[in-house]
Amino acid sequence: MQQAKTTILSLPTGEFVHPGTRACTGCGLSIAYRVGLKALGPDTMLIVPPSCLTVLQGLFPVASTKLPCLNVTFASTAAAATGILATLKAQGNTHTTVAAWAGDGGTSDIGLQALSGAAERGDNFIYFCYDNEGYMNTGVQRSGTTPIGAITANTPFKGKLQQKKDVPAIMAAHHLSYVAACSAAYPLDLYDKILKCRDLPGTKYFHIHIPCPPGWGYDPRYGIKIGRLAVETGYYDLYEVVNGEFRLTAASEKLVEKRKLVPVREYFRSQSRFKVLTEEQIADIQKQIDDKWEGYYKKSD
């Protein structure tokens, strides 16, 4: 039986993040984290490496989350999850959910080895990579998931020259029971996917696109609009891979029915980080998107 879709009215009102965190105004992470913790529930232990999320949490003895949270070194997030799982097992605890939340730098670059090891062993926890597409907490440096053409502190003139690393695909190649691509601009899709995967075995991986006003260069009030543009242009897709089966979800699934993408130019022109992208480069990226979506359309025919 299909799980009923959560609406804004049926979303639980209980909060696990205190109001007033140290995140920037309009931070997409605040939305994803707040809604994500609602889905994870009170019986959850969190693991967080250095990142904007550590800043959001606050400095000891202050903490913005009501759940137990272990701050660990950059490279050890998934290894810490393995350790906590072993401890819970020794205590006979089979009910607590272990959830790691790390940035894209801490996932796609520095923490990838530990994550790959834990995933290959099939350790039973949920790993969330919130992808603001850069090392934002330390002043917007490029990461493995910064997209091509984006200006960062260390790609200041031509923007990043390399393609974005496809981390969900890397994780899917570990034969996980569940991999999801989500966006802070579609929090209910994130919520429902967390509920769906909770009882699946082994490591579950979530990739969450996170609009970031200072890192991407836009007025904080436009975060949701920009997050949605990424999806409506077909540039960033919402999907899940359940036991190897790929499926588009939410707004991306609807785009297959509509067969009409918003031109990606609108997404690029909404953020100052892409100001060096030329019309030729944009046309090239548009072609890549169109080709990808032709594949989706064919599959659904």
Ligand X SMILES: Cc1ncc(C[n+]2csc(CCOP(=O)(O)OP(=O)(O)O)c2C)c(N)n1
Q: Which does 227 bind (CB under 5 to 8 A by kind): ligand SF4, ligand X, none?
A: none
Q: Which does 187 bind (CB under 5 to 8 A by kind): ligand X, ligand SF4, none?
A: none
Q: Which residues contact 106 (CB under 8 A, 6 or more apart)?
A: 49, 50, 51, 74, 77, 129
How long is the chain? 301
Q: Which does 23 bind (CB under 5 to 8 A by kind): ligand SF4, ligand X, none?
A: ligand SF4
Total number of residues that touch ligand X (CB under 6 A): 16
- Is 64 or 82 the residue whose CB approaches ligand SF4 more closely? 64
User: Interface mask (CB under 6 A) for ligand X, residues 34-73, using x and -?
Assistant: ----------------xxxx--------------------
Q: Which does 143 bind (CB under 5 to 8 A by kind): ligand X, ligand SF4, none?
A: ligand X
- Is 129 or 255 the residue whose CB approaches ligand X more closely? 129
**Window 94-133: residues binding ligand X (CB under 6 A):** 103-106, 132
Name the minimum Å distance from CB 11 to ligand SF4.
22
What is the identity of the amino acid at 45? M
Residue 99 · residue 139 · CB < 8 Å: no
Name the minimum Å distance from CB 230 to ligand X.
17
Residue 49 · residue 102 · CB < 8 Å: yes
| Residue 76 binds ligand X (CB under 6 A) | no
- Is 82 or 132 the residue whose CB approaches ligand SF4 more closely? 132
Instruction: Give residue number: closest CB to ligand X.
Output: 103
Name the minimum Å distance from CB 54 to ligand X.
7
Residues lying near ligand X in the complex (CB under 6 A) are found at: 50-53, 74, 103-106, 132, 134-138, 143
